[in-house]
Every structure is written in C-alpha cells, then in structure tokens.
Amino acid sequence: MSASLRVATLPSRDPAIPRHDWTLEEVEALFELPFMDLLFRAAELHRQHFDPNELQRSQLLSIKTGGCPENCGYCSQSQSFDTGVAASALMPLAEVIAQATAAKAGGAQRFCMGAAWRDVKPRDLPKVTAMIAGVKALGLETCATLGMLSRDQAVALKDAGLDYYNHNLDTGPDYYDTVVTTRAYQDRLDTLSAVRDAGLSTCCGGIIGMGETRRDRAGLLHQLATLPAHPESLPINDLVPIPGTPLGDSSAVDGLEFVRMIAVARLVCPKAVVRLSAGREQMSRELQALCFLAGANSIFVGDRLLTTSNPAREADEAFLADLKMRPMA
C-alpha cells in the first residue's frame, strides 16, 4: 500500500485537535504525500490556529560562547573541534540588557539567550536568572538554552520570568549517535520533562541536512508529536556547515524537502509556533515564503545567531514588507 494511501485510510479525526498517538509510519506517510496536497493540508491547518499573515520575530544572543564539552558534530562551539571559535566568559548583565533593549527597538518580540554549557553550574544560575528578569522587565518574551537542567533549576528560571526553555532533540533517535556521543537521547528527554514539570513552555526541534534520511526526519517529528505535551515552540534548522566540524562538508538539503519538513511539523504539532531558524541566509526569498505557507510562523532577526550569520535586518524588513506580513500579535 502506498504511503499516501495509508494516510488517506487513517481513521477520521479532527486534524485541528493535537494528537499524541502518532505512529512513525503515519508520520512517514505524511512526508510521502504529493507536495501540493501536503502543502494544502498544512496551510489549511495553520489557518485554524494562527493568522497566516503574522510572524513572530525573535532575536538570539550568545551569552557564553565556546568551550563546550559536548561533541555535537554540527557545532562550532565544541571544544572537540578546531573551528576558530574561542571560549569566552559569561557576558556581563549590563551588556545582555543593552543587547535586549536594542533587539526590542529593532522589532524583536522574543529574546533568546544561549550559553555553550553541558549543564548549568550552581555558581552561574543567579547570574542567568538576573539576565532573565532584566529582559522580561523590558516586555520581551524570554527564552534560554543552557544545556541540561534539573527540575529545581528549571523552577528557578521560571521564577525569574523565563517563558520558554530551548532544548532540541536534534534528530531522530536512530540517527542521534551519529551526530553526538557525549549526551544520550534520554538525557535530552529528561531535561524536557524537568522543564515541563516546572511549568515552563518548551522550545524543541532539530536540524536537517546532517546526512539523515527522510525516516530520521520523520523520527524526530514523531518524538516531538508523542511527547506528553507538544512543544509550544518548534524550531527547524537547516544545517549551516561549519569548517572544522565533522559535518562541515555536508551537502545542502533540497529546498522542497525542507518545505516538507515544515509542513509535516505543522500537521503533527498543529498548535506549535514553528520556527524557521538557522540557515535562512542560504535560502531564497521564495523558499522562505513557501515555508511560511507550509506553517512556519517565526524567524530569528538580527545579523547573527549564536556564532553564524543571519540575513541583514534591512533585507528581512523589505522581504516581510513584500509579503505584507505583520508582527505576531
């Protein structure tokens, strides 16, 4: 039986109601749908939960760069690889607040802070909570990605005013050990559990273009769709190959395949804010517009992400104006 037929013969359900009982085969079958059918389904479902002409603008700041003990094969900040990224100390509070203030003035609605840590050390937690409280006081939505967390640490971050915690699964469970060996898949799931238990919203997605198969991509989305609660924020990153990393020579993913990833993410996690994250600089305007049509409704703005470049703010403003897209209410 063909994949598209398997989807067509699934029990009738309201697609607007989030499911947590997806099978891997069902998610794979969505990827196999004719492109136009898949795009139509995703766009239709997107409109049931979101205004398709609204886009959330986020800005990302590296508050502690480099020197990470993890060996994630895509990452310029791992101490295992020679990428030219030097380790730095934690950024001073005043500089973080200044960066957040400038981000808000530039149109950002959400401010994300990332630190290249395996986990949060007790000595650093008060400094990070002060940053979160300061950014929150500016009226920005707050997000942080700091590595693995205990439940008590997650509670402390929430008490400081954190809205979202980012902890990506990166890829499907069957491909994960090909990408990173210093942290188990279950470690990532345990951190997500601690974040949920603390009452924080989760920001969790992954990266495509690391040599994985379509089944691996389906495996990632299957994991996200069968969590006890779907991620409220779901970033999809297009790998930016970094010289010096094991994935530095990776080939680009076909653009239509990337759109499929966005569309299936929208279908299996219908209420998530799907974030078109790293890799936009290597995408055409037309490809990005297709991603928005398929259900992506957030981008990172600003000239840099953590250590990689991002489209210039002026170019993004002109692009979004051409699409007549508004900031998300």
pLDDT in tens, 33-88: 999 999 999 999 999 999 999 999 999 999 998 888 898 888 888 888 888 888 88
Question: Count of CB atoms within 10 A of residue 89's CB?
Answer: 9
- The residues carrying an active-site annotation are 68, 72, 75, 112, 143, 203, 275
Q: What local confidence, expressed as pLDDT, does residue 67 receive?
A: 84
What pLDDT sits at residue 305? 64
Q: Residue 299 burial by CB count (10 A; 0-12/13-18/19+): exposed, middle or buried?
A: buried
Mean pLDDT split into 10-residue runs, the chain, 329 residues: 46 73 97 97 96 93 89 86 85 95 91 92 95 96 95 96 96 95 94 96 96 97 97 95 90 94 98 92 93 95 70 86 92
Neighbours of 74 (CB within 10 A): 24
The two structure tokens encoding residue 56: 């959330």
Residue-range domains of the chain with CATH: 38-327 (3.20.20.70)
Q: Which tokens belong to 306?
A: 């953590």
Residue 310's pLDDT is 75
| pLDDT of amino acid 262 | 98
> Rounded to two decimals, what is the model's pTM?
0.91
CB 109 within 8 A of CB 68: no
